[in-house]
Structure 1
C-alpha cells in the first residue's frame, strides 16, 4: 500500500494526513514547535482559541519562512461563541495573524454562557459548568455557513460531535461538515461514528491519537509487539493506524525528536488493522478526554478521567 500524504475533503480541497496538534502546548514552547515542524515538512497545523496559544502558533508559522498559502491551518469556534460565530472567528484570525483559515470547526456541541467567573470556562456558583442547554446548534451551524460564504474559512466542520448531534444538524444544514475531529485511537475506535460519517462524506480527524499524557496506549503490550514486528516505535503504529484508514491524524508534541518521528508512517497489514480495531471490544476500551459537559453528548463510551 502506498500511504497518502494528503486526503480529500468534501470541498475538493486536500488536507495533509498528519498535522501538528497544539493543545496543551505550554507558552514559550509552541512557537518553536510549530516553526520546527513546518521547517521539517509539516504542512498542517491544528489550533484553537481555547488553547490560549494562537498568537505563538501564528508566530511559529511566520518564523518558518514557508508561505501561508502552503500551510493548512485549522482552528475552532469556542463554546462561548456559539451566538456570535463571526466574532469568535475574528479573534482566532487576529491571534494567528492570517486573514483566512483552511478549516474552522465547532469545537463542541455545547454552548457555555460567560459570566463573572470566566470568559471562556464559566462556572455556576455550585462549580458546575455554565451551560445553556436550550441553545439550538442548528443556529450555530447557520452562522458557520455564513462565515464560510465570506471566504474567511475555506471549509467548515465540527469536533466532538456524536451521531445524535449530527442527525439533528442534518435537519437544517445546506453545507455538510467537511471534518469531524474526535478522540480516536485503538482503545476508542468509534466504529459506528466512522461508518456514519463515511456515509455522509464527513472525514474523521483523530486527536489524542497516542492516548494523551498518562494513557496506556504507548505501553500496551499488543501495540509494543506490533511496533517490534515493524521495527518502529509504538507511536508510529498508532499514527499509521489512522493514515492507513484515510483518517487525518494530529499528534501533539513540543519535542523536536518526536515531532520529526511522528511524520514517519508504515503500511500496516490488514490483519494488524483488524487487531487494532478489536482492542476496545476485547476489554481495552478507554476514553482519555472527558470534559465536565461530556456525559450528555450522545456518545455511548464515556469512560476515563474527568477533565475540565
Structure 2
C-alpha cells in the first residue's frame, strides 16, 4: 500500500502538514466503516476525518490498525461532540480510546452552539491538550465570523483549521477570506454539493474536455483555491477517482466559471441558529 504522492500537503499555522485531499466518514454506518476506511487507505488516502458524533470512531481505528500503516503515516481528524463542550478533556480522551491512538492530528470543535456559549471554555481545554502534545493541531468547524471573533477574544492559540460547508453553489467566500486572513486554513465539507454543482455547465464542459468526472472537476476547483477537501464515497472506484482529482489542473477561466456558480444554496444547518444538542 503506497500513498498517492500526487496529493499535496497544506502547512497549517503551527507548521503541521495536512494532506489537502482526505476521506470523510460522515453518515457512514459504524458497521460499514471499517471496510470502507480500509478501502480508502488501500486507494491511497492518508487523511481520515471522523467525529465523536458520527459514532464510528472505533471502526475507523480498527481499519487503521488492520492496514498495518504506521500511525504517523495517517492524519486523523476527529471532533468534539456538542453536548460535551463542558468536558472537552474527557471527551477527547474517549475519542482517543475509541480510535485506539494516543494522539490525534487535528481536533475540532464540531459546532459553536452559540446558545450555550461553551466553546471558549472547550477551546481552553483543547489548548492545554495541544500544549501537552496530545493533539498536533486544534481547530473549529462550522464557525462563522462572529464565532471566530468571540473565540479569539480569549484564545491563546489561533485555530489551525475552520471546516465548514463549501461547494460551488455555496462558497461562503467572506467567511473563507476572513479565516484565511487570520491564518486559519479552510476545509470544505460537502465539497461536491448536490446536483446543481455537478451538473452545471462549466463543470460538465471541463469534465468532457479532460476526460474526467464532474466530481473530479469540482474537487480540482477546491484544490486550486488551497482548500482542504474531504469527499466521501462507499465505492472504491469512486474513491480512487476522487483522489485522482489532485492531478486535474483547471485553467483560470474554468476556475472562474465554476466560482460564478455561487447561488447561496446551503445544504446543511445554519451555524448561527443550529443547536445540535443531540450530537
CA distance in structure 1 between the aligned counterparts of 2:204 and 2:33, rounded to whole angstroms: 29
Shift in Å, 1:235: 0.5
The answer to whether the 8 Å contact 1:157/1:177 transfers is yes
Shift in Å, 1:176: 0.4
The answer to whether the 8 Å contact 2:7/2:21 transfers is no
The answer to whether the 8 Å contact 2:61/2:100 transfers is yes
Which residue does the alignment assign to 1:288?
267
Given the alignment, which residue of 234, 238, 254 partners 1:258?
238
> How does 1:108-147 map onto structure 2 within 5 Å?
108-110=111-113, 133-147=115-129
Q: Which moved more, 1:198-207 or 1:24-33?
A: 24-33
CA distance in structure 2 between the aligned counterparts of 1:290 and 1:137, rounded to whole angstroms: 18
Shift in Å, 1:215: 4.4
CA distance in structure 2 between the aligned counterparts of 1:224 and 1:97, rounded to whole angstroms: 42
- 1:104 aligned counterpart, secondary structure: strand
After the TM superposition, list the runs of 4 or more consecutive aligned residues in structure 1 that deviate by more than 6 angstroms.
Answer: none
CA distance in structure 2 between the aligned counterparts of 1:242 and 1:107, rounded to whole angstroms: 21
5+ residue gaps, structure 1: 112-132, 298-307
CA 97–4 in structure 1, closer or farther in 2 if over 3 Å, else same = closer
Shift in Å, 1:49: 0.4
The answer to whether the 8 Å contact 1:36/1:64 transfers is no
Given the alignment, which residue of 210, 219, 227 partners 1:239?
219
The answer to whether the 8 Å contact 2:38/2:63 transfers is yes
Which residue does the alignment assign to 1:129?
none
How many pairs align? 268
Which residue does the alignment assign to 1:72?
75
- 1:154 aligned counterpart, secondary structure: strand
Shift in Å, 1:221: 3.3
CA distance in structure 2 between the aligned counterparts of 1:135 and 1:206, rounded to whole angstroms: 24
Which residue does the alignment assign to 2:3?
none
Query: What do the CA deviations read for 1:180-233 (whole angstroms, capped 9, x no partner)?
Result: 00111111111111111111100001111112xx54322333321221122210
The answer to whether the 8 Å contact 1:218/1:235 transfers is yes
Which residue does the alignment assign to 2:151?
169
| Alignment TM-score, normalising by the size of structure 1 | 0.83
Q: Report the aligned-residue RMSD.
A: 1.7
CA distance in structure 2 between the aligned counterparts of 1:46 and 1:66, rounded to whole angstroms: 17
The answer to whether the 8 Å contact 1:279/1:285 transfers is no
The answer to whether the 8 Å contact 2:37/2:63 transfers is yes
CA distance in structure 2 between the aligned counterparts of 1:40 and 1:258, rounded to whole angstroms: 10
Match status 1:180 vs 2:132: no
CA distance in structure 2 between the aligned counterparts of 1:195 and 1:246, rounded to whole angstroms: 12
CA 267–176 in structure 1, closer or farther in 2 if over 3 Å, else same = same
CA distance in structure 2 between the aligned counterparts of 1:157 and 1:62, rounded to whole angstroms: 25
CA 84–78 in structure 1, closer or farther in 2 if over 3 Å, else same = same
Which residue does the alignment assign to 1:84?
87
CA distance in structure 1 between the aligned counterparts of 2:133 and 2:104, rounded to whole angstroms: 9
Match status 1:103 vs 2:106: yes
The answer to whether the 8 Å contact 2:85/2:118 transfers is no
- 2:135 aligned counterpart, secondary structure: coil
5+ residue gaps, structure 2: 1-5
